[in-house]
Amino acid sequence: MEQQCILITGAGGYIGTSLVPALLLSGHRVIAVDTFWFGRELLAKHPNLTCIQQDSRQMPENLLRGVDSVIDLAALSNDPCGETFSDATWEINHLSRARTARLAKQAGVRRYLLASSCSVYGFNTGTLDETSPTKPLTTYASANLAAERDTISLNDNNFSVTALRLATLFGFSTRMRLDLVVNSMCYSAWRHGEITVNGGGTQVRPLLYVADAAQAFMRLLNPDIPETAGQIINIGRADQNLQINSVAETIAQFYRTAKNRPVSIRHDGPQDVRSYRVSFEKMNRLLRWEPATSFDESLPDIARFLIHSRREELLKCHTLDWYRANNLISTCSEAREPTPLHESNENFGSP
Ligand SMILES: NC(=O)c1ccc[n+]([C@@H]2O[C@H](COP(=O)([O-])OP(=O)(O)OC[C@H]3O[C@@H](n4cnc5c(N)ncnc54)[C@H](O)[C@@H]3O)[C@@H](O)[C@H]2O)c1
């Protein structure tokens, strides 16, 4: 694939810190735009990387000039954050991403990829594909759905927009998250010797390895697959639609055998009858691709991370606690309207 200049918002996050090195390794130039709430140092210096500390809600259009593709990851990235900071979630996850897409189109960017989520399906029965009805149940899911609508509507022959509905991610990344089901169960097993399963555990959820999510974005940058323009695509692996009980049992067993640690499983809360499987056939067909890694294969890396991390480093991995403890999240009136365009380059960091 030809070298591109790719601007990534939220590049310092869980997906971004896996995706940016992979793009650089493929020879692309990357402009990483982030508030860097988890630290600037998580992205290693590279001659083809420019890091810009910038809130996406106020991103000026000039940053987008000369950019070939935008990958829009900036978000408050889970349900608890969405409910705690609902106004900021609407601003960042919906309005700001719609605004970034509009500015990108104005600036002549060719391709825009939105990180959405399978959570837009809410909880449903049966196997869900992209034509299934959506039922967002939380602020986070509703904002994703609104962002899909307002970005996909900008798609035309000159501006290709694709929304990726990602399954729930797992695995090690440089900015590590311990608020995702697999990673969080590993943390509980390691730290407390106990995994708590809420809702009975028979409910099914789709899972996806974080480095495979990065690969999906990379495949979608390829101009040889034009049929993805204007599309919403579920991203995940069919055999990783898994029952929560079996995820917990596999993790407990891993700690018992590989780490010689006794781990029990505790059930809590009322039965959750809401359960869904997601179909990834459209992704298989259009991207001619399948994610490589199953969740059990990621466990040794997660365990290694937990053993080698200092306590203070682990605090950052609990996203909502980190935001709260450091008072990081506020609303921003400029998110409501595009800001005037500035010609200044004062926000450019050094490569
Ligand atoms: N991780 C998952 O399981 C998963 C699943 C489905 C969808 N997604 C979506 O993928 C995207 C990235 O998720 P992640 O797991 O990397 O989350 P993350 O919380 O690790 O990263 C988000 C990044 O965005 C930055 N950010 C937040 N608001 C910003 C703003 N206003 N301006 C600039 N930067 C800002 C943060 O500093 C952080 O580095 C999100 O849109 C998320 O909803 C993630």
C-alpha 331/C-alpha 85 separation (Å) is: 9
* Closest-lying ligand 1 atom to the alpha carbon of residue 168: 3
pLDDT band at 98 (very low <50, low <70, confident <90, very high): very high
How many beta carbons lie within 10 A of that of residue 84, not counting itself? 16
Per-residue pLDDT of 144-174, as tens digits, reads: 999 999 999 999 999 999 999 999 999 999 9
Q: Which residues of 232-248 are buried (b: 16+ CB within 10 A; e: fewer)?
A: bbbbbbbebbbebbebb
Give burial (CB, 10 Å; 0-12/13-18/19+) of 58.
Answer: middle
**Which element (helix H / strand E) includes 183?**
helix 181-192
Whether residue 7 has pLDDT greater than 50: yes
How many beta carbons lie within 10 A of that of residue 46, not counting itself? 15
Average pLDDT rounded to a whole number, residues 42-59:
97
Q: Which two tokens stand for residue 205?
A: 């959820």
pLDDT band at 48 (very low <50, low <70, confident <90, very high): very high
Per-residue pLDDT of 238-285, as tens digits, reads: 999 999 999 999 999 999 998 889 999 999 877 776 678 999 999 999
Which pLDDT does position 342 carry in this prediction? 35
* Closest-lying ligand 1 atom to the alpha carbon of residue 116: 7
Whether residue 195 has pLDDT greater than 70: yes
Whole-number mean pLDDT of the chain?
92
Q: Which two tokens stand for residue 227?
A: 């049929």
At 319 the three-state DSSP class reads helix
Domains in the chain, CATH or no CATH each: 5-175+207-239+278-292+319-336 (3.40.50.720)
- Backbone conformation region of residue 32, classed left if phi is above 0, alpha if psi is from -120 to 50, else beta: beta
At 332 the three-state DSSP class reads coil
C-alpha 73 to ligand 1 mean position (Å): 5
Give me the half-sphere count of Cα atoms (radius 13 Å) on the Cβ side of residue 92.
26
Residue 206: phi and psi, rounded to 5, are: -85, 140
Kindly report whether the global pTM for this prediction surpasses the value 0.75.
yes
Pocket test for ligand 1, best of 8, 15, 121 (most atoms within 8 A of CB): 15
C-alpha 92 to ligand 1 mean position (Å): 10
C-alpha 264 to ligand 1 mean position (Å): 32
| Residue 73 near residue 38, CB atoms below 8 Å | no
Side chain identity at residue 250, one-letter code = T
Question: What's the CA dihedral at 341, 346, 350, 351 to 10 degrees?
Answer: 10
Per-residue pLDDT of 135-145, as tens digits, reads: 998 999 999 99
For β-strands 241-243 and 204-209, DSSP reports them as antiparallel
C-alpha 87/C-alpha 75 separation (Å) is: 12
Whether residue 323 has pLDDT greater than 70: yes
